[in-house]
Amino acid sequence: MSAPTLSIIVPVLNEAAGIASVLVPLQALRAHNVELIVVDGGSTDNTAALAAPLSDHLVPAPRGRASQMNAGAAVARADRLLFLHADTRLPQDAIAAIRSALDTHAWGRFDVHIDGQHPMLKVVAAMMNLRSRLTGIATGDQAIFVRRTAFDQLGGFADLPLMEDIALSRRLKALGRPACLRQRVTTAGRRWETHGVLRTIVLMWRLRAAYALGADPADLARRYGYAPRES
């Protein structure tokens, strides 16, 4: 059996209510030499049972996106990796765009569209895309993709409870600037709308500034609303 040309790694936790809507749109890709890996961080609902028949590999891992995505990368067979959050959807031509981008770049990301009713979400997405293009830093919402050789060279994601995507981007920049694709992934705007768009913008600015100044990522995760993982 030939190796897949791309491995998609999806970290999940208690996603039973929506896991089918995440994985069903990806099924057609599996017929075109794309491997789909779901990494479950210890769900207490029916996520794993629902995901198993819709993926090539269902991998258990300690809770936390960094550890889950590293676990998925460890079993991936392709030389190109795509890390896809469970609340993010790919554009129609994503796979061809990724393959083309990784022919000339070590890594990259998509522009993002935030799905929601609040008119400020369009502004937030535009700011995210512009900032990323100027700084060469990507967030997980932008569906980071990378050559396996580059990912392995850097040792994968640092085991951080928050900002693991920022940390990886900074290290990847040492290998070259990212391919900044203008095709847009769509990510859910639930958190923005639930907690308030302006409030969330300010919180994220503060967290990123604190991280840049050396704050403990575990403390930042608690401020963001992530419960710390038990050791």
**Any idea how long the chain is?**
231
| CA–CA distance, 5 with 129 (Å, rounded to integer) | 27
- Which two tokens mark 231? 């050791």
Q: pLDDT tens-digit profile of 190-213?
A: 776 676 766 776 666 776 666 676
In which band, very low, low, confident or very high, does the pLDDT at 163 lie, cut at 50, 70 and 90?
confident
Q: pLDDT tens-digit profile of 49-96?
A: 999 999 999 999 999 999 999 999 999 999 999 999 999 999 999 999
Write down all domains in the chain, each with its CATH number in brackets: 6-191 (3.90.550.10)
- Tokens 């396996």 locate to 148
> What pLDDT is attached to residue 192?
65
| CA–CA distance, 37 with 51 (Å, rounded to integer) | 10
Mode of pairing for the β-strands spanning 57-60 and 107-115: unpaired
Average pLDDT of the chain, as a whole number: 89
Instruction: Check pLDDT > 50 for residue 231.
Output: no
